Structure 1
Amino acid sequence: MSWSYEMHLQPMLSATDIEGLPFGSVFGSVPAHTVSKRHAHQDGEMFIVLAGRASVVLGDEERELGPGEVVYLSPFGYHEIRNESDEAFDIVSIYWEHIPSAVKVLEQAPPRDGFPERTLVFCPPPTPNGGLHLGHLAGPYVRADMLVRALRSMGRDARYVTGTDDHQSYVAAAARLRGTGPADVATAEGDAILATLRAAGIGCDRLTRPAGDPEHADRIRELFARVAASSAVTEEERETAYCPTCDLSLHQAFARGACGHCGAASDGEICEACGRPNEARELTGPQCRICGTPAVTRPERALWLDLNAYAEQLRDYLRDSYTSPDLQALVERLLDEGLPPYRLARSSEWGVAVGDGQTVDAWADLALTFLDAARAESEQGGPARITLFLGYDNSFYYAVLLPILAFAAELTEHLPTAFVTNQFLHLEGEKFSTSRGHAVWADDALAAAGPDAVRLALLRNAPEGRVTRITQERAGQLARDPLYLDAQEWLAGFAALTERSGGQVPGTGAWTDAHREFYRYLNLATRQLDGLLLPESFSARGYVRLLESFVARSAEFRATEEALRQVPSLAEEARTSLALEYLAAKVFAALAWPVVPELSQRVWDWLGLPAQPVREADWSFLPSGTRCVSAAPGLATAAVSSADGRS
């Protein structure tokens, strides 16, 4: 017996044992009070129950089975066994590979079917202690907007939720260093951050701005009281890092040292490099960020949350949610090592006051603000699936602390069902650094190249699952992106086509095999791009590359069809050829809208289509007689932009 799929397995007979045997088989035993791993295969599979009783989960369906009963599992169907009884659940599994059946299952379940009718897309609120640089935008913000736009173009209800993380210790630290108040910093820098997001074409449907919300403190105190009532919360006195020079309790932004786990430079409470939590007093060589004095310790009383009390519930929650592989690896390691206790309130004057000179810990405040916003969205718009985009450095707070606070406050229905992470975008091989001036500011890049070019460059270089890099030279030439230039060149070519057809889109006529395959391609390419939008397979980088391929394929179609359009006897085929070209422009406008919204909207308007681009499941042709002016202003502007590097 071996332990696999979180159950005991023993191979039986297969084709390697008996020549010509058309199936494989395995004996399996799920121990009492155990849940097997949720998974899928390309094989068809059949369970024959030998002993015990358990629930077999097949997708959204659940069946209780006992001895002698049989169940069939279709290819690519997710399944697991929940054995809540006091005895083992024993089965024989017979499986076989039939590729036509597997392919048929995929064809009958296009990616679009995986999107819910309503989605809330959350992004961590930026800390308003300074402006945004390209490294910030390259993380969750543009990628989340890409998903929201795509969902809306499919007719789904999608809302973008973010804000500013006003109560962060980094805001209070910045205020001390600048000699001003934290509320002033949060307001001024927060306004600038939101202006930058708008300039990048990122629309926010719900903004959480605690410092400017007079009711925020009361709502957070109500949720905090629910957490504090948990049996896992105790009041304790513990040694805490302290600066005697500043008379300051050192935590988070106020502390600086080296991570005790990986040795990287780290602030208190979290290491950006390895993602592990720490207490400021656990840093190597801790010192005060404000004055540089080496830290000492002093005892402080506070509420502490025993995270380990919810470890199994956290495992169950994450097993039922989607987590990016890097985040999953970190959380599983933390769970295996044992979760540290977490301090819920800090000795600080900045934040939501909870008495005795303490305020709600900034990260606990952030998590409760998330739950408060999700609850409000649910009350106002109904239930929704929540997808959270986040930087890997925030993994502990969003994938551990947030769920556990929700468990304690009994708000689990407002947790994310999917976590989509990013690593870091580096400039010239090093992390962006505001303090060292090692940065390309988002406002400067947007002013120089325009939102489309900036978005496209950042999505192409999205740090998905890895650290990516951009050079200063490349950052200064964002409008020279190959897709940006090739798309504009292809679109500019429509001026000659519309002039030839009298400014009207023709209806289809006779079809050739090449026409049929190009039309098939337009629909298949759409499904491929749809698949890259699912949280489980989300890839901005892959999406941009497929869009690049789409433009190249469309340009190739025009080049090879040009000769056909000159032959008088093929006039009927020429009509279909031109109709397909205009359809390709319509498809491009809809598929590219999540990436380059301004260019896509110009194309959509030029085609005489209403409102914003619509992403059809099966593409319909433009009505015969649709008028497109030959000198399309939007496309002409784009063509000029590609020549001089401006947008």
Structure 2
Amino acid sequence: MSTPVWITATPPATHGELHVGHLAGPYVAADVLSRYLRAEGEPVLFTTGTADHTSSVHVRALRAGRKPEEVAEGYRAAITADWLRSGVEFDHIVRPRQDRGYARWLGDLFRRLYADGVIAARTRLTPWCEPCGRFLHGAHVTGSCPHCAAVSDGGMCHECARPNDGGDLLGAHCAQCGTPAVPKRCRRLYIPLEPHREALAEYWAATGLPPRLAALCESLVEDGLPDIAVAHPAEWGLPVPVDGFPEHRIDGCFEAAAMQLFGHGERPLPERAIHFCGFGHAFCHAVLLPVLLFARGVKLPQHFCVNEAYVIEDEALVWGTGRKAWALDLITEYGSDTLRRHVLEARPLGRRTAFDPDRLAAARRELDESWNSWLSRLFTAVREQSSGRVPEALPGGTGWQVLERRLLRGLEDLREAYSPEAFDPRRAVALLDEMVRSVSDFGHVNAHEAHRPAADGRYLPVLAAQLAVARALAAWARPVMPEGADRLAAALRTHAGGPVRSEVLTPPAPGTRLAPPSGPVFGF
């Protein structure tokens, strides 16, 4: 049996809840691909983790007057619950503070890299806050990115995805008290990337990076690959297991990259890996993770699905009385089907997009007025014309052959949109909507067969045809809307899931008594 396709999604920092922008980024999209490949019979390993030791957790704890471990654990539980409620099903979620052996594994990796010369000590000017009495790194320091001038924390600019060393931030100041930072010499541990120039350039050339990520990587090579700090003097995080750095903690970005390897475990490395991440986090996936693999003598074929930022421009949607942008609140109000299809339609590829509550409401209307309306009419017709059972008839009716050909052509496009090579979940949603509209029109046109004076069972093939499409959609739509697809499969008394293939375009067994749900099939 072949090794599983390895799919990863960026570990989120546990300094806050998930909002709709997070779901529109890597998580739902990665779950769609995972579900499709599994339906095709391909083994999949789908992993992530939670970045509990990032500096943003410590900053949040300081501002709230809480312990950082309390902040990390509370938001970790909220994030994993939101994933579950939105239908995102990981095989393994690394929990840095709970998983047995994780701290020892990370320490051993760090120590080995230091012994091999991959990690080396450097003395550099580092931001220092005199009132707080601490060196500033990560979220503890804020300024302007020296590369793009955007507002940035230390370590990584989430706008241009280029690293900084904290000391080169423009106008650097303490995020806690606002005091301008002063440069102070500090000896820290770094990964110098320049020794990996050839290996990285060869790796990037063979990977087929998305254009913006390719531009970033080529710029890094042209400007001279930097040294990346992988530890800092800090109060929060896992301790550096190297003599001479007693008050230092392992950097959160380094840990996020290494966490992916821990999540994969001791399995044989796969034939390919597919990484889902926002562009602002791409450095960890495209630069640090390959370097860690090179250190193990591994060059793993990898593919990147990189999204831009999906921003919430109206802060009242997050912090206002209504709280209309948090994942938990939206799932509670709209259901996972509606929210998933919305974030896939609005997924920011190649450009930044903004959350629009009206578009989310439109996604619910599409499900109600098209998908659920058609299914409600179909279940009612089966009850009235066939005693609630699948009729003893082959699919037919006026226009059925045309509709069947159209569905099969759409199926080929749908399979392409689901495939790793041409992955486009927005296209998948549009294709599924068009299929439902087509079968709904077919049902309306043929509904008059039931009222002909000499109907003579003419309407039963029409019901069988629509039931065939319903059964197919229970499989074909499952990667996008698993909750509704499983509800539809239960109503049809068929197995949940199934391949996204033509063979499922058949009605349930004749005589099967249907079990329609009391409410909507998709969404609620």
TM-score (normalised: structure 1)? 0.74
2:332 alignment partner in structure 1: 447
Match of 1:339 in 2: 225
For 2:24 and 2:505, how far apart are their aligned partners in 1? 34
Is 2:265 the partner of 1:391? no
User: Cα deviations across residues 110-146 of structure 1 (Å, max 9, x unaligned)?
Assistant: xxxxxx8732221111111111111111111111112
- Say whether residues 1:403 and 2:290 are aligned partners: yes
| Match runs of 1:302-317 below 5 Å | 302-317=188-203
Is the Cα–Cα contact under 8 Å of residues 427 and 439 in structure 1 kept in the other structure?
no
Note the alpha carbon deviations across 1:428-454, whole angstroms, 9 max, x for none. 478987799997111111111222222
**1:184 equivalent among 59, 66, 70:** 70
User: Aligned match of 2:429 in 535, 544, 548?
Assistant: 544
Question: What percentage of residue pairs aligned between the two structures are identical?
Answer: 32
> How many residues were matched structurally?
518
1:311 Cα shift?
1.9
Distance apart, 1:567 and its partner CA: 6.1
Aligned mates of 1:433, 1:504 — CA distance in 2:
47
Q: What is the match of residue 371 of structure 1?
A: 261
Equivalences for residues 179-578 of structure 1 within 5 A: 179-354=65-240, 355=242, 356=245, 357-376=247-266, 378=267, 383=270, 385-413=272-300, 417-428=302-313, 440-474=325-359, 477=361, 480-498=364-382, 499-506=384-391, 508-509=393-394, 514-563=399-448, 575-578=460-463
Distance apart, 1:337 and its partner CA: 2.3
- Which secondary structure does the structure 1 equivalent of 2:371 belong to? helix
Q: CA deviation at 1:511?
A: 6.2
Distance in 1 (CA, whole Å) between partners of 2:65 and 2:285 is 32
* Superposition deviation, residue 613 in structure 1: 4.5
User: Quick one: distance in 2 between partners of 1:130 and 1:436?
Assistant: 18
1:326 maps to amino acid: R
Q: Which amino acid aligns with 2:281?
A: N
State the shift of 1:210 in Å: 0.7
Identify unmatched segments of 5+ residues in structure 2: none
Give the equivalent residue in structure 2 for 1:637.
519
Q: CA offset at residue 331 of structure 1?
A: 1.8
Amino acid corresponding to residue 313 of structure 1 in structure 2: A
Separation (CA, whole Å) in 1 of partners of 2:323 and 2:351: 20
Separation (CA, whole Å) in 1 of partners of 2:54 and 2:487 = 41
> Residues of 1 paired with 2:263 and 2:45: CA distance?
12
* Residues in 2 aligned to 1:198 and 1:519: alpha-carbon distance in whole angstroms: 35
Counterpart amino acid of residue 252 in structure 1: G
CA shift at 1:576, angstroms? 4.2
Q: 1:579 to 1:287 in 2, by over 3 A?
A: same
Q: For residues 483 and 463 of structure 1, what CA distance do their matches in structure 2 show? A: 22
Conserved 8 A contact 1:140-1:391 = yes
User: Do 1:345 and 1:358's aligned partners in 2 also have CA atoms closer than 8 Å?
Assistant: yes
Cα 1:231–1:525 change in 2 (3 A) is same
Distance 1:272 1:344 in 2: 18
Per-residue deviation at 1:339?
1.7
Deviates more, 1:207-216 or 1:128-137: 207-216
CA 1:541–1:185: 2 relative to 1, 3 Å:
same
Pair 1:231–1:616, CA change in 2 (3 A)? same
Distance 1:536 1:503, change over 3 A: same
For 1:177 and 1:208, how far apart are their aligned partners in 2?
A: 27
Indicate if the aligned counterparts of 1:160 and 1:205 stay in contact, CA closer than 8 A.
yes
Aligned residue for 1:128, secondary structure, equals: coil
**CA distance 1:456–1:481, change in 2 (3 Å):** farther
Give 1:264 deviation, angstroms: 1.1
Structure 1, residues 351-391: CA drift from partner, whole Å, max 9, x if none? 22124221222111111111122243x25xx7453211101
Deviates more, 1:459-468 or 1:479-488: 479-488
Distance 1:176 1:510 in 2: 65
Q: String of CA shifts for 1:606-646, please: whole Å, max 9, x gaps.
A: 111024444335335235414243xx442x4007x9xxxx8
Q: Distance in 1 between matches of 2:410 and 2:322?
A: 42
Corresponding residue of 1:110: none
CA drift at 1:565: 6.0
Tell me what 1:51 maps to. none
Of 164, 171, 187, the residue aligned with 2:50 is 164
Q: For 2:118 and 2:290, locate their aligned partners in 1 and report how far apart those are by CA, in whole Å.
A: 14
Cα distance in 1 between the residues matched to 2:445 and 2:86: 37
1:585 is matched by which residue type in structure 2? Answer: A
C-alpha displacement of 1:394: 0.6
8 A Cα contact 1:186 1:211, kept in partner: no
**For residues 576-604 of structure 1, what are the alpha-carbon distances to aligned partners after superposition, in whole Å with 9 as ceiling and x for unaligned?**
44322111101111121122222211111
DSSP 3-state at the match of 2:418: coil
Aligned CA-pair RMSD = 2.9
Question: Aligned letter for 2:255?
Answer: D
Instruction: Sort the Cα spacing of 1:326 and 1:247 in 2 relative to 1 into closer, same or farther, 3 A.
Output: same
How many Å separate the matches in 1 of 2:477 and 2:159? 34
CA distance in 2: counterparts of 1:585 and 1:141, whole angstroms: 27
C-alpha distance after superposition, 1:231-259 (max 9, x if no partner): 45432212111112212111111110011
Q: Is the 8 A contact 2:492 2:516 kept in 1?
A: no
* TM-score normalised over the length of structure 2: 0.90
Q: Which has the higher strand share?
A: 1
Give the Cα separation in 2 of the matches to 1:467 and 1:307.
Answer: 30
In structure 1, list runs of 5 or more residues that go unmatched.
1-115
Report the CA distance between 1:534 and its aligned residue: 2.2
Q: Give the secondary structure class of the aligned counterpart of 1:286.
A: strand
Residues 174 and 235 (structure 1), Cα distance of their counterparts in 2 relative to 1, 3 Å cut: same
TM alignment of 1:24-35, pairs within 5 A: none
